[in-house]
Structure 1
C-alpha cells in the first residue's frame, strides 16, 4: 500500500491536494482555474524561466530552454507528454495520469501553443492511466490532435530516443545521439519530450501566476524502503531529507538510495541534504525523478547496491555490448559480495568499472549501474571490505537480488 502526504502549505497550489480525492473530471479541474486563456508564447516562456521550472523526468533540465528551442525550430513541431517511468521506485507519473489527467493535458495544450506544435502524444505503459486520459480527452477535445501511445513497461522505454522510436512504430529502445529529439524527433519533426509532472506544473503555474515560483520549486516524491508503507509526497524545494524521512516513518534510516537508481547511495550526512538539484549533484547524488529509497535500520548498503545493479542488468536493452557485459559484471560482483562470496580483488574491479564504464552506452542505464558501484565504494568502504570475509546478517537472510524489493504500488 502507498500513502499520500503533502508537505506543501495548504495556501499554495499543489498537485497532491487532500481536498481533491479521486480522479479529476473536467468540472473539478475548471473549478480550480484549469484551462485558462493561454498567455502569448514568449510571455509564457519568460514566466517559466522566471519561475525556474526544471524537468521532472530525471535530468532537471530548464523547461524554458526546451520551450524556446522548439519555438525557434523550423517547420512543424510535436509535443510528447512522457508518462513512462521506468524507475521501479517511482509512482508519481502514473498517479498524475490516473488522477490528474486534465492537469497534464492542460500542460500539453500550453506547450503546444508555445512551441507551435501541430500534434501531441501521451506516452505511457499503464492501462489505467491510458483510460483516464481517454476519458479526459472525450470530456474536452484538445486544441491540437493528441494521441495515446502505449508501450511496454521497461527501464529504458522512457528514454527520449526510445520514446521517439516507439511512437514512430518501432521498439521502445534507445538510439545513438545526435540527433536529439529537439533536432529530429517524431516523424522527423523537432519534438519536445516533457515529463508529465513537468507539464502538470506548467499548467499549475499558468493558472496561478502569483505562486509560480512555489509551484515550480515543489516536487512529487516517492518515498519507500523498510516495513513502513510507501509514500507519494509533495514537498517544497529546500526540504531536508531527514524531514521527509520523519514524516514518512523512516527517521531511523542509515542510508538512502537517491533520485531513483541513477542517484546512487548516500551514507553519513544524508539527513542534512535538501531537495535541491544543484545541492544533490554537488554531493555526488541526484534528485532525478524524486524516488528516494531509505535503507531501514540494519539494512545493508551492499545488499541494496546488489539489488539495484541486478535490476539494471536485467533491464538492459541488449543493444550495446559494453552495456550487456558491464551491467552483468557489476551485478554479478555485487551479488557475490552480498552473499559473502566475493574476493579481495573485487573492490578494485568495481572501482575500475565504476570509472571506466560511464558514458559508454547509448542511454543512461550503464551509467546508473556504474554510479551505484561508485557511491557504494565512496560512502561504505568498510561495509564492502567486511563483505569480502562473509555476508552480514541482513544480506544472509535476503532473497536473491533482483530489484523486486525496490518496487512501489500506485496509490
Structure 2
C-alpha cells in the first residue's frame, strides 16, 4: 500500500487514494483549495439524498454505525428540524474527528448544509471540543457566503458529555447529561425538536458521496460498506496516527499479524487475541461481536504492563462518569479498585468479571456497557499476564502509558502523559502495604510504620514508566501522578 496524502505534523495519512484527506498533504484546505479538490456543493432534495445514501450503504461514523439513509427518513422535513454535527470526540485515544476538522473543515460544512437543505431547514449546529478544530471551523465559516446559518459551539464536557443525547440536552440549555436510553434525537433533540444528528465524519462522507457520485464512491472498499474510512491507530501498530483507508482491509494489515492483545473500537471496545482473519468493515466486525465504534484500533507494545494499561483506562473511564447512575458512580471506581488489586497479585479475576457484568444494561447511557465490554474482553485475552501478576505481584514490565488517558495525550504513538510529573499520596486511601516503595525505590521509601515517604516528588521522563506502573498497581489507588502546579 502507498501513502498518497499526509500531514506528518498531525499524524494523518491515506493508504491508497486519499478522499477525505485529498489535498491536505501540505496542511489545512481553505475554501479555494477545497473547491479545487472537491468542486461545488451539490444540492439534493430529501428523496434523492436518501437514494444516494442507500446506494452506497453509508453507515454513521460516530460509534453506532446506524444506516444514515434510515436516520434521514426518520426525521421530518421543515424549518423546525435541526441538523447537528457532533465533533466533540471525548476519548483520548481517538483523533480522527479533530484531524478531519483541522484539515478539511469545508467537507463537514458542505455535508451539514446539504442535509439541512434536503430537510428544508436552516438550523445547523456543529459542536467541537478541540480548540484547534474550533479555530479551523470558525475560519472556514468566515470564508464562506453560505455559512451564516451554521452555529459553531465549543462543547467541552468530557467523554459522556459528548454523547449525542447529552449534547442535544446541553444545546437546549440543560445539563450535559444523557437523558435516558429511550430518547432519540430524531424525535426529541435540540430544543425538543426533531434533530438529524451524526458524527462530523458522517457529514464529510455525505459531501464526498455527492461530489464523487455513487458509482465512483463505491469503486473502492468492501461491498458491504464501500468507500474509505478514518481510523486512529494507537500503540505498536504499523503506522500510529490517523489514517484514511479503504474499507475491507484485513485487521492484520493495520495492526500487524502477530498474536497478542489488540483493542478494536477504543475504550468502549473489545479486546481480541491478535487480529486473526478479521476484516475492517463495520458490518463484518459487528457480526464478529467486535464493533469498530468510533474507529480506534490499538495494539499494546510487548514492553508494557498490559494489565496496568487496562487499569489506567478503567480509572479514566470511572472519572468520566456523569455521576447520575449507580453503575457509573459506584460500580466503575469499584471495578478500577478490583483491577488494581488484581495487578498487585490478588486472586480477584472472578471478582473483576462479576463487577463488569453488573454494569451492563443499568445506566442512562452506554458508558457502563462500554466499560464492561472493555474489561471483560481484556480479562479474556490477558490470562498469561494475570497469572504472572498473581505469581509475583507484577509482570516485570514497566507501565509505558501506551493507551492515552488524559487531555495532554494528544498523540497516538503510545506515549501517554508527556512532560515532568510529581507524586502525591492520598492519605485517606493509603494502608501502608509498601508496594510503591518496591516498584519505585528511586523516589519512595518507607517509614518505621511501613507507610511511604516520598524523598523527591518530581518524576522526569526517565522514571515516568516506573512511576506510572507504581501508581496504577497501588492496591488502594492512593499513589497519584499529577501535573506540576
TM-score normalised to the size of structure 1?
Answer: 0.89
Equivalence for 1:393: 396
**Residue pairs, 1:291-330, within 5 angstroms:** 291-330=296-335
- Shift in Å at residue 118 of structure 1? 3.0
**SS, match of residue 230 in structure 2:** strand
CA contact (8 A) 1:90 1:408 kept: no
**SS, match of residue 32 in structure 1:** helix
Q: Which of the residues 39, 57, 65 maps onto 2:62? A: 57
Equivalence for 1:285: 290
**Residue pairs, 1:317-356, within 5 angstroms:** 317-340=322-345, 342=346, 344=347, 346-356=348-358
C-alpha distance in 1 between matches for 2:228 and 2:388: 40
Change (3 A) 1:170 1:405: closer
- Deviations 1:19-49, CA, capped at 9 Å, x for gaps: 6421111111111233333123201111111
- Shift in Å at residue 153 of structure 1? 4.8
1:383 aligns with 2:381: no
Long gaps (5+) in structure 1:
none
C-alpha distance in 1 between matches for 2:281 and 2:365: 24
- Deviations 1:229-275, CA, capped at 9 Å, x for gaps: 732101111111211125xxxx657221111111121114x153211
Moved more, 156-165 or 378-387: 378-387
1:261 aligns with 2:261: no
Change (3 A) 1:399 1:135: closer
Q: Which of the residues 228, 232, 242 maps onto 2:242? A: 232
**Residue pairs, 1:4-403, within 5 angstroms:** 4-8=12-16, 10=17, 14-17=19-22, 20-70=25-75, 72=76, 76-142=80-146, 145-209=149-213, 210-213=215-218, 214=220, 216-226=226-236, 230-246=240-256, 254-268=260-274, 270-340=275-345, 342=346, 344=347, 346-389=348-391, 390-394=393-397, 403=405
Q: Count residues with an aligned counterpart.
A: 398
CA contact (8 A) 2:81 2:121 kept: yes
Change (3 A) 1:282 1:111: same
- Deviations 1:359-393, CA, capped at 9 Å, x for gaps: 11111211121112210232233433442332101
TM-score normalised to the size of structure 2?
Answer: 0.76
CA contact (8 A) 1:104 1:200 kept: yes
CA contact (8 A) 1:94 1:126 kept: yes
Change (3 A) 1:406 1:326: farther
Moved more, 318-327 or 210-219: 210-219
Q: Which has the higher contact order (CA 8 A, sep 6+)?
A: 1
- Deviations 1:39-79, CA, capped at 9 Å, x for gaps: 23201111111101101111111111111111x36772000
Q: CA RMSD in A?
A: 2.6
C-alpha distance in 1 between matches for 2:47 and 2:188: 23
Runs of 4+ with deviation above 4 angstroms: 226-229, 397-402
Change (3 A) 1:49 1:3: same
Change (3 A) 1:354 1:74: farther
C-alpha distance in 2 between matches for 1:44 and 1:158: 27
C-alpha distance in 2 between matches for 1:2 and 1:110: 28
- Shift in Å at residue 408 of structure 1? 3.8
**SS, match of residue 147 in structure 1:** strand
**SS, match of residue 169 in structure 1:** coil
C-alpha distance in 2 between matches for 1:25 and 1:75: 30
- Deviations 1:217-240, CA, capped at 9 Å, x for gaps: 311011111498732101111111
C-alpha distance in 2 between matches for 1:406 and 1:218: 29
Larger Rg: 2
